[in-house]
Amino acid sequence: MRTVVPFWRDNRIVPILVQLFFLVLVILLGGFFYNNLQVGLDKTGMKLGFSFLNQSAGFSIKETSIQYSPADSYGRALLVGFTNTIKVAFWGIILATILGVFVGIGRLSSNWLVRNVAAVYVEIIRNTPLLVQLYIWYFALFMQLPKIQDSIILPGSIHLSNRGLALPWLVSTSGTRIWLAFFLVGIVAGFLIYKKQTEKQLITGIDRYPALWAMGALLLSLLFAWLITMDKPFLLTVPTVDGLRYSGGYRLSPEFATILLGLVVYTGAFIAEIVRAGIQAVSKGQTEAAKALGLGHSLSLRLVILPQALRVIIPSMTSQYLNLAKNSSLAIAVGYPDFFSVSGTTLNQTGRAVEIITLVMVAYLSISLLTSLLMNIFNKRMRLVER
Amino acid sequence: MRKKAYLLVILLLLVTMTLAACGQDSTQEPTQTTTGNQSSRSTLEVVKNRGYVIVGVNSKLPGFGYLEPDGSYSGFDVEFGRALAAAIFNDPNAVEFRPLSAKDRLTAVQTGEVDVLMRNTTWTISRDTSLGLNFAPTTFYDGQGMMVRKDSGINSLEDLDGARIGVQTGTTTELNLTDHMRKLNVDFEPIVFEDLDSVVAAYEAGSIDAWTTDISGLASRQATLADPNAHKVLPEVMSKEPLGPVVREGDDQWYDIVKWTIFATIEAEELGITQGNIDSFMNSDDPVFRRFLGVEGDLGTNLGLSNDFTVNIIKSVGNYGEIFDRYLGPDTVFNLERGLNDLWTNGGLMYAPPFR
């Protein structure tokens, strides 16, 4: 006999009910907050709106990646802050990954000193607050460097003082664009030729010198670039001390250097542990198999262990990248004008707390979502391909 | 077995549902009632029920608002918080000080986290009109200055071309600096910190060439530098900075109480009433004194306070001049001139409307 199942025991309906219930809960909670906000705003007689973004900002930011002057709008100022945050996050992620991978491998080294130095680094950095580390980098390291007049000059005319770091840098000439275009063409052509020659070599078994061919192609295209421009690709400028500042060269402010160094060192320690765990997750048989095939230590690491470890590493790495991007908001503690710092100033000048906090949340959310998206794509590509 | 499990799940679900539903009711209703209450209940009532007044102050500016090693607060601004407590409760200690950063201070007033802000805050039209705030009379007329090292060869703002200048975020100084330097066409690099301690530390290390804040703040901090004599304040004054208490808009009674507490200290100085000699005025026949001290009339009760609130203030903290001298005057390390902050009768700007 077929019994009628009441809906609260129906396997198809119950999950939907649960979902509905949570939806209602979320909406009610949101409504409560919104109501709270409205009551608060009514009480002070303020209105929401983003038109203030077009008003002239009036404060200046010197460290910028895009053109900015105090006469520009608040929106532009926030954009400057946003690019500064992106700049720190971008370089931070790259450098932290490099540092982390090396330290992570170092922790598994057979060399006693390397292994223990790596372990001490990881344990100290991982277990102290980032803000404290930033203060130490800024006040105990960069501020203690000599004044600009007595800059330390390292080989290659790298100037170091508590005004920051100045490096020799390339400046473009009239022919830079043409040089760059030919360089890119050379790279692409070299790559294609390399591929073709390797293919032929595999089929015929005769050495076709693919690397040599590729180099030749690149050199040829660079020769063309020189013939056309009859100019150098770049000029080198060397920093010099000019009164209170450096002129020429590329200047890294102590504020940017601090926040970058702080984030790289801090996140690097976490990445090191992830890398170590990832390597150890690859079964020992793989290492032995690689050895049996006659692969050396670094080759077996590069060709056998790391590709397999990556599958374990990437998901945890993503969250470290997100942490790094969000931790960059501590930049204000050391005076770097990142997005959070600029939005704080804007908030203070305009008093638009709700709008600006919303903007801040949206900005960091989009950075995080973008990072996640890229890492997920990467993760998908690295997944085990079953044959 | 399966049946039992289902039953349990459904039961749990029902329980959470009802609980959540109750939860919503109980969270939403009180907010409406409290908001309803707050518009009907005045700040004064709230403060009286609480038993003390909450004052937002600076904790890092010696002379104005400073957290002493023993955990107590001291300073010029702090003293007006005590005066307010004395006016309401006849007890200068019926006050809780909340240290606030420059950035958070105005939000703290807007949200009602503090009853009044007494934290060297500049009165500007945009703050007054667009932030839902009211500014009580100015307690300290100040201007923005710039501190540099004596041996730096910098003698005026024009010499700061290319310099790195430290400034604290969330202050009017941040804007004034840019405005002023644009006018002079001086190219500088602002280094914006969250914390004034960081500004001063970076300045002492020599990473920044100069730092700027209100002149009183510069004087206050100069006294704490390793070698105070190695630094100087440039002669240019970049702005007008009238500093005074701030309250939330929408409660005129509370605004009046804060206003007239300040005026009472100024009026007392003008009348020559001090902490020490106030008792001798209590039997005065002069109607001006009698009204001011609450012996006759009902000036205090009109405010919602006791009639002798002025007496309580003066007995607790003294008159304006006494407060000034105690924290900033010639006997202190700051040794500030009265200047604009002298009584109007002495060529200053301190002027209380009549108590009548």
Give pLDDT tens digits for A173-232: 777 888 888 889 889 988 998 888 888 888 887 887 888 888 888 888 888 888 887 777
A195 and A90 housed in the same domain: no
C-beta of residue A323 within 8 angstroms of C-beta of residue A368: no
Residue A216 domain-assigned? yes
CB contact under 8 A, B169 and A63: no
Q: Do B131 and A59 touch (CB under 8 A)?
A: no
Q: How confident is the model at residue A29 (pLDDT cuts 50, 70, 90)?
A: very high
Could you read off the pLDDT of B282-295 as tens digits, one per residue? 988 999 999 999 99
Helices and strands (H and E) in chain B: how many: 14, 14
Q: What is the CA radius of gyration of chain A?
A: 28
Q: pLDDT digits over A331-371, tens only?
A: 988 989 999 999 988 888 887 888 899 999 999 999 999 99
In this predicted structure, what is the pLDDT of residue B23? 43
Cβ of residue B192 closer than 8 Å to a chain A Cβ: yes
Decide which of B212, B239, B266 is a domain's last residue: B239
* For testing contact with chain B, the best of A9, A60, A80, A342 (most B CBs within 10 A): A60
Are residues B201 and A58, on separate chains, in Cβ contact within 8 Å?
A: no
d(CA A385, CA A374): 19
In a shared domain, residues B153 and B208: yes
> Is A116 a domain residue?
yes
Say if residue A231 is in the same domain as residue A259.
Answer: no
B44 against A237, higher pLDDT: B44
CB pairs under 8 A between A and B: 134
Q: Is A173 helix (H, G, I), strand (E, B) or coil?
A: coil
User: Are A226 and A263 in a shared domain?
Assistant: no
- Asked if pLDDT for residue B3 goes beyond 60, the answer is no
Residues B152 and B227 in one domain: yes
Range A63-83 average pLDDT = 90
Within this chain, do residues A17 and A94 fall inside the same structural domain, yes or no? no
**Partner A contacted by B178 (CB < 8 A):** yes
Two tokens, residue B4? 């039992």
Residue with tokens 């923005």: B144
Tell me if B356 is assigned to some domain: no
Cα nearest neighbour of B127 on chain A: A351
B247 in any annotated domain: yes
Q: Which pLDDT score is estimated for B38? A: 46
Nearest alpha-carbon partner for A218 in A175, A187, A176 = A187
Question: Nearest CA to CA, how far is B286 from chain A (Å)?
Answer: 43
Q: Tell me, yes or no, whether A180 and A85 share the same domain.
A: no
Smallest Cα distance from A361 to chain B, Å: 18
Tell me: pLDDT of B35 over 50. Answer: no
The answer to whether the Cβ–Cβ distance between B201 and A70 falls below 8 Å is no
Instruction: Say whether both B22 and B63 belong to one domain.
Output: no
> A69 in a domain, yes or no?
no
For residue A122, tell me if it sits in a domain. Answer: yes
Residue B245: band (very low, low, confident or very high) from pLDDT cuts 50, 70, 90: very high
Contact: A14, B192; criterion CB under 8 Å? no
Is the Cβ of B283 closer than 8 Å to some Cβ of chain A?
Answer: no
Q: Which of A59, A135, A338 to mutate to test the interface with B (most CBs of B within 10 A)?
A: A59
Q: Is residue B101 part of a domain?
A: yes
Sign of CA dihedral A259, A265, A269, A274: positive
B260 and B335 part of one domain:
yes
Q: Using CA atoms, how far apart are residues B92 and B265, in angstroms rounded to an integer?
A: 14
Total domains present in chain B: 3
Are B212 and B127 within one domain?
Answer: no
Q: Are residue A18 and residue A135 in the same domain, yes or no?
A: no
Domain CATH code at residue B61: 3.40.190.10
Residue B104 sits in the same domain as residue B252: yes
Question: Do the domain assignments include residue B309?
Answer: yes
Do the domain assignments include residue A49? no
pLDDT recorded at residue B53: 96
Q: Which of B184, B206, B239 is the last residue of a domain?
A: B239
- Cross-chain residue pair A163–B164, CB shorter than 8 Å: yes
Same domain, B247 and B231: no
Is B130 domain-assigned? Answer: yes
Domain end among B194, B218, B239: B239
Tokens of B168: 């604290």
Residue A163 lies in a domain: no
Q: Which of A335, A349, A350 sits opposite B191 (nearest CB)?
A: A335
Is residue A344 one of the residues assigned to a domain? yes
My answer on whether B269 and B335 are in the same domain is yes
Q: For residues A1-24, give the mean pLDDT.
A: 84
How many angstroms separate the CA atoms of A264 and A208, rounded?
A: 43
Would you state the pLDDT for residue A350?
82
Structural domain harbouring B249: 47-141+243-346
The DSSP bridge pattern shows strands B116-122 and B53-57 to be parallel
Q: Look at residues A345, A299, A294, A281 and name the one whose alpha carbon lies nearest to residue A58.
A: A345
Identify whether residues B33 and B55 lie together within a single domain: no
**Residues B155 and B121 occupy one common structural domain:** no
Contacts of B127 in chain A (CB under 8 A): 351
The total number of structural domains that make up chain A:
3
Same domain, A125 and A259: yes
Which of A58-62, B137-141, B266-270, B324-328 is the least confident region? A58-62
Is there a contact between B169 and A163 if contact means CB atoms under 8 Å apart?
Answer: no
**Is A64 among the domain residues?**
no
Is the same domain home to A262 and A228?
no
Claim to verify: residue A287 and residue A229 sit in the same structural domain: no
Boundaries of domain holding A277: 74-146+254-382
Contact in structure between A84 and A336 (CB atoms under 8 Å) = yes
Sign for the CA dihedral angle at A99, A102, A108, A112 comes to negative
Smallest Cβ–Cβ distance between A244 and the set B111, B162, B194 belongs to B162
Pick A44's closest partner by Cβ from B110, B189, B209.
B110
Residues 6+ apart with CB under 8 A from A205: none
Which residues of chain A are within 8 Å of residue B249 when distances are taken between CB atoms?
Answer: 44-45
pLDDT at A169 over 90: no
B72 shares its domain with B150: no
Mean pLDDT of chain A: 88
For chain B, give the mean pLDDT.
86
ipTM above 0.85, yes or no: no
- A376 with A261, same domain: the answer is yes
Residue in A43, A61, A145, A253 to test binding to B, most B beta-carbons within 10 Å: A43
Q: Do A210 and A280 belong to one domain?
A: no
Let me know whether B247 and B136 are in one domain.
yes
Residue B34, pLDDT > 70, answer no
Interchain CB distance below 8 Å, A333 and B193: yes
What is the CATH number for A114? 1.10.3720.10
Does A308 share its domain with A211?
no
